[in-house]
Chain A
């Protein structure tokens, strides 16, 4: 489970170095500029929480990092890999190299419905990373066991609860051994009583030293697991810093309003 079993992933607690650095990332959909020159970096073993109102661009940031959207400009670099400069035309190979460094956990899980739980998890390692099947299966089984899904490996996604499906989604991402885990509102589609299980798994991963970036509306959770909170609004970073500072004592008025509204909905 721990990222240390892959030598390409730095040791948790090791001297911090950015796993990811993003400079002046920008992205428009038609005439609507959703990202306006975003700078970010995530340290090894760090947890970056992106918060902000809907439409602020936080999900788009994650999607750009995973190559699901192609930015119009800016530079994205993972440690040990070449920087991709989106200011000039990029080819498929660069996108694919970028994509291989991170793995996304989707809001709506996006499991493969025609595959069993186990098949969902080993699909990437076996088909893409060309790892031996037996090894991929044994890794998958211990990961599933680790998130409380032992015995579910032969079930199809529709036979599982939302919380179980999302934990499969997390295991599917972990099985790829990415340098960076991306979570796009991982609990937003869940029934309230199922949220805890999923957050618990994410917290454990953070404690084990996985490097991650997550978009979330769960401010209490962000305060507990994040090493840095970034508040976005209107496609720009409004405020960033330690969770205690950004969430308890925001310096910017917009941040203050947002945090206040989320903590006091009535």
Chain B
């Protein structure tokens, strides 16, 4: 097969641009909102309050038990039926944030539970309330434990945002799709899009390694 080098070169920047203006901002915004949601859900789960814990558990169960694509379609194509019409970008951010919230909540909860009980007691003995102990003593230690799994969640999210192309968000994959439809060079364009995602994820993995090293400075080896 002949490779259309000219097409490859001329389409690279538009795809990368789609990544920089679509994939990356969509991922960052969804992850940031998702983390806040996840922290809230995790705290509800460990609160000891059965109603709050039950609500969080039900939410997590629904999010993890249904396909992300279906969640995306419910929000963008489904909600208009009850009069809620959202643009592609808000729809995508809502869907991805809610999804990250469900998955990351379990990661954070496990990390909180992994902090030894003695740390709670040490917080109490210096006079701290439960809330202050959670904030100053437990969560900082849980944060370190949850960095590797949360990084994986983020990298998955970056790739999952390609699904937003199906609700008309202009991101890396949608740009590739449009050029492919126009040029009929499907294999070339989709391989090129794959390469762009791969490079993005390589950069993120390097960032993850650096972050883990930084957070490890107080841990014995």
Contact = CB atoms under 8 A, between A and B. Distances in A.
A68 B25 CA distance: 47
Contact of B119 (A112, A127, A172): A112
A123 B140 CA distance: 14
Interface in A227-241: none
Contact of B127 (A68, A92, A99, A108): A99
A138 interface: no
A67 B125 CA distance: 8
Interface in B84-143: 116, 118-119, 121-122, 124-129, 132, 136-137, 140-141
B144 interface: yes
A128 interface: yes
A237 to B, nearest CB: 24
B100 to A, nearest CB: 25
B144 A173 contact: no
Contacts of B116: 110
Contact of B218 (A99, A100, A114, A173): A114
A127 B137 CA distance: 11
B125 A99 contact: yes
A42 B126 CA distance: 21
Contacts of A106: 118, 121-122, 125
Contacts of B124: 66-68, 99
The residue among A103, A127, A159, A173 with the most chain B CB atoms within 10 A of its own CB is: A127
A129 B121 contact: no
Contacts of B118: 106, 108, 110
A127 B136 contact: yes
Q: From DSSP, what is the main secondary structure of chain B's interface residues?
A: helix
Interface in A101-116: 103-104, 106, 108, 110-115
B206 to A, nearest CB: 24
A66 B141 contact: no
Nearest to A107: B118
B126 A176 contact: yes
Nearest to B122: A110
Q: Which bucket holds chain B's interface residue count?
A: 20 to 34
Interface string A45-82: 00000000000000000000011100000000000000
B108 to A, nearest CB: 16
Nearest to A176: B126
Contacts of B126: 103, 123-124, 128, 172, 176
Nearest to B117: A110
B219 A128 contact: no
A106 B124 CA distance: 12
Contact of A123 (B121, B136, B141): B136
B213 interface: no
A77 to B, nearest CB: 19
Contacts of A8: none
Nearest to B127: A128
A124 B121 contact: no
A156 interface: yes
A100 B127 contact: yes
Interface string A160-186: 000000000000110010000000000
A104 B218 CA distance: 24
B217 interface: yes
Contacts of B219: 113, 158
Contacts of B127: 96, 99-100, 124, 128-129, 176
A159 B219 CA distance: 9
Interface of B: 116, 118-119, 121-122, 124-129, 132, 136-137, 140-141, 144, 217-220
5 contacts: A92-B129, A112-B122, A115-B218, A124-B128, A127-B132
6 pairs of A and B residues whose beta carbons are closest in the complex: A124-B126, A158-B220, A110-B122, A128-B127, A110-B118, A104-B125
